Amino acid sequence: MSTPPDPASSRHALPLAAVTIDDHFWSPRREVVRTGTIPQQERQLRSGGQFEALRLGWKPGDPNEPHIFWESDVAKWIEAASYSLAKTPDPVLDAAVDEAIDLLAGAQQEDGYLNVYFTVVAPGKRFTDLRDTHELYCAGHLIEAGVAHHSATGKTSLLDIVRRFADLIDREFGPGGSAEGGYDGHEEIELALVKLYRATGERRYLDLSRRLIDARGTEPFYFDLEREERGSEGYFSFAFPERPKQVQRFREYTQSHLPVREQTEAVGHSVRAMYLYTAMADLALEYGDDGLRSACERLWQNLTEKKMYVTGGLGSDPSIEGFGPDYDLPGIGGYAETCAAIGLVFWSQRMALLTGEGRYADVMERALYNAALSGASAEGTHYFYGNPLASDGSVHRHEWFGVACCPPNFARLLTSLEYYAYAEGANEALVTLFVAGSAAFSLDSGAVRLDVATEYPRTGSVSITVTPAEAATFTVAVRMPGWAGGSATAEVNGDPVDVPSAVAGGYLRLEREWREGDVITLDLPLAPQRLWANPAVTEDVGRVALRRGPLVYCLEGVDHDVPVAALSLPRDSGFGTELDEDLGIEAIVADGFADIAPDGDERLYRETPPDSRPTRVRAVPYFAWANRGQSTMEVWIRETAR
């Protein structure tokens, strides 16, 4: 069932230009991305062949054959660079982006098609292997880059390119087109088309997104039809030799096993799922589509209650880069791809906008501060693809990957943080993340600026100064994190607020006549907390995790004189905190125990238990691990009764 959306109640993120971030936690990290990450990624794209491939000079027999997803790497880099340019002019970077766009323009075919692989490696085979070859995935990232570049710079050079490509896709996937009824194996274009519609006002792009969503998982299955027409198993047949015998598993892999409105469980490749669900939430908002909204809510419940790591990481099965069974969340053997956590940030934001409920933004915050932020090193030039919750000491970040989706995804997330910090309703200014800076809103009652001062997440004190253009009545809604447990306090101009009665849907909703200089103050409790997993997560039975505010913590071997697996924490031990000067964040300290063999005893097995000596246990934020050399690491700590 679809009902027309009420434009007056539709929430949306603020434009990038409406938000200024001046934050002790995020600003230095964003500066690292601007000055270190983005230039390093440009060098990798040049030396790896992605830029050069766009010149269309490759010929059969030449080395370094262009890959099916190289356009997506370039596109995400352009998107990150564009967001950076929107805030900090940089003529050198601007010129590099223009060069990349010129290369894309030169690679675009006369009818608008743009994919190097199907231009020089497999000409004549476009749109014949949608399941495997990432054509629409690459197109989606190009579209997102075009929208971002236009929004950030005002230029239309890339936007014009991607509109021509989108117009071609609309024709080819429409009635009578060569791919009528088709959809992509790696979802991405669906959410990109919604962005393109919002940037251009062209309704065809929104309708195309919905058409792709509606076709997915319907019978006869499109990927079966194209395989029969193609006469082969597809590009990735070498990687999935078992696919012909495991038909249902690999339909689930691409979330094409059922029509999307009938899906109830998060299955398959976790990044693909996140991009699909993000588009479903976008379309539910745009069309007032109750079926898509209900499906999103069912999938959300399954994912967050049975398949999400405590860090917000997603995907426990490395063999499919995706979801395992319910409660299957291994530590060392887990996966939790950086891109999946970033995708969860996207979906969480869209669900918060769709519903107005803060619980979705709570998950967005968890994924952002933990599973996504851990994806790059402190200096911003080494990366995790997977983000395990335990390490035997062999795990480390890499400078680049053959499949390099995660590094530029990380860069574009941090450079676009503005989109996730605030939202705007008809007469409602929402503060979703606690990030110092300012935001300008255009409400029904008039223009409003909010100035936020905080050292979150090091402290839980937040001050919000409200400045309307003139005195007016409207709502300021401030998210009250679920982890605060009802212990937060708030004041307006020094007068206490009855927080329990003012909180609705996870937001502290303050409706009143606001005047220039009114101040909201918030005090969020940041005492360390214990978390326990459902006993069905068998690997975590008898273990405990530590959290302080939005941050999940871990033990690292570099802080201890024994491997962290030998450490245990009594259930009744108290916690202290100490500022880590390098991180600018408190570490958690506690009195624990270390199991050790008696001096000189090197036997593999013995008839008596190991010695247990008191030791100081030190936990650091999970996002920061593996920055001080390789060592053992664990999020879930062995727990003793006392």
What does the pLDDT read at residue 641? 82
pLDDT in tens, 88-137: 999 999 999 999 999 999 999 999 999 999 999 999 999 999 999 999 99
Per-residue confidence band for 9, with pLDDT thresholds at 50, 70 and 90: very low
Helix, strand or coil for residue 277? helix
Q: Is the residue at 82 inside a domain? A: yes
Whether 2 shows a pLDDT value over 60: the answer reads no
- Same domain for 551 and 519: no
Q: Is the residue at 11 inside a domain? A: no
Active-site residue, from 321, 418, 556, 639 = 321
CA triple 140-399-309, angle to 5 deg: 65
Token digits of residue 224? 């079966």
What does the pLDDT read at residue 207? 98
Short-list 275, 410, 259, CA closest to 347: 275
Q: Is the peptide bond before 63 cis (omega within 30 degrees of 0)?
A: no
CA triple 325-341-528, angle to 5 deg: 95
Between 286-300, 303-317, 595-609, the lowest mean confidence (pLDDT) is in: 595-609
Whether 4 shows a pLDDT value over 60: the answer reads no
Token digits of residue 332? 């060392």
Q: Which residues contact 102 (CB under 8 A, 6 or more apart)?
A: none
Residue 511 belongs to what H/E stretch? strand 507-514
Q: Is the residue at 335 inside a domain? A: no
pTM, entire model: 0.97
Q: Tokens 């800076």: give the residue.
A: 437
pLDDT in tens, 507-564: 999 999 999 999 999 999 999 999 999 999 999 999 999 999 999 999 999 999 999 9
- Same domain for 623 and 498: no
Last residue of a domain, one of 471, 495, 523: 523
Q: How far is 365 from 503, CA to CA, in rounded Å?
A: 19
Per-residue confidence band for 8, with pLDDT thresholds at 50, 70 and 90: very low
Residue 153 and residue 85 in contact, taking contact as beta carbons nearer than 8 Å: yes
Q: What average pLDDT score do residues 442-471 get? A: 97
Q: What average pLDDT score do residues 62-77 get? A: 97
Whether 1 shows a pLDDT value over 80: the answer reads no
Per-residue confidence band for 6, with pLDDT thresholds at 50, 70 and 90: very low
Counting the structural domains of the chain, the total is: 3
Short-list 13, 247, 245, 236, CA closest to 137: 236
Whether 396 shows a pLDDT value over 90: the answer reads yes
Q: Is the residue at 321 inside a domain? A: no
- Same domain for 611 and 570: yes
Q: How far is 365 from 25, CA to CA, in rounded Å?
A: 14
- Same domain for 482 and 555: no
* pLDDT, the chain, mean: 96
Residue 132 and residue 235 in contact, taking contact as beta carbons nearer than 8 Å: yes
Last residue of a domain, one of 229, 254, 279: 254
Q: Is the residue at 64 inside a domain? A: yes
- Same domain for 196 and 143: yes
- Same domain for 534 and 503: no
Q: How far is 5 from 426, CA to CA, in rounded Å?
A: 13
Q: How far is 382 from 627, CA to CA, in rounded Å?
A: 10
Active-site residue, from 296, 339, 405, 406 = 405
Q: Is the residue at 65 inside a domain? A: yes
Q: Is the residue at 631 inside a domain? A: yes
Q: What average pLDDT score do residues 411-433 get? A: 97
State which amino acid sits at residue 555.
Answer: L
Pairing state between β 551-556 and 633-634: antiparallel
Q: Is the residue at 334 inside a domain? A: no
405 labelled catalytic: yes
What does the pLDDT read at residue 228? 97
Q: How far is 386 from 402, CA to CA, in rounded Å?
A: 14
- Same domain for 545 and 516: no
Q: How far is 362 from 302, CA to CA, in rounded Å?
A: 16
CATH of the domain at 449: 2.60.420
Q: Which domain covers residue 242, as residue numbers?
A: 49-254
- Same domain for 605 and 468: no
Percent of residues, the chain, with pLDDT higher than 90: 95
- Same domain for 122 and 81: yes
Q: How far is 605 from 271, CA to CA, in rounded Å?
A: 44
Per-residue confidence band for 505, with pLDDT thresholds at 50, 70 and 90: very high
Percent of residues, the chain, with pLDDT higher than 70: 98
- Same domain for 473 and 546: no
Last residue of a domain, one of 254, 286, 318: 254
Q: What average pLDDT score do residues 446-452 get? A: 98
- Same domain for 194 and 113: yes
- Same domain for 567 and 440: no
What does the pLDDT read at residue 639? 97
pLDDT in tens, 561-579: 999 999 999 999 999 999 9
Sign, CA dihedral 323-547-623-364, equals positive
Whether 361 shows a pLDDT value over 80: the answer reads yes
What does the pLDDT read at residue 5? 43
What does the pLDDT read at residue 7? 43
What does the pLDDT read at residue 583? 84
Residue 401 and residue 432 in contact, taking contact as beta carbons nearer than 8 Å: no
Q: How far is 70 from 405, CA to CA, in rounded Å?
A: 9
Token digits of residue 434? 């606690």
31 labelled catalytic: no
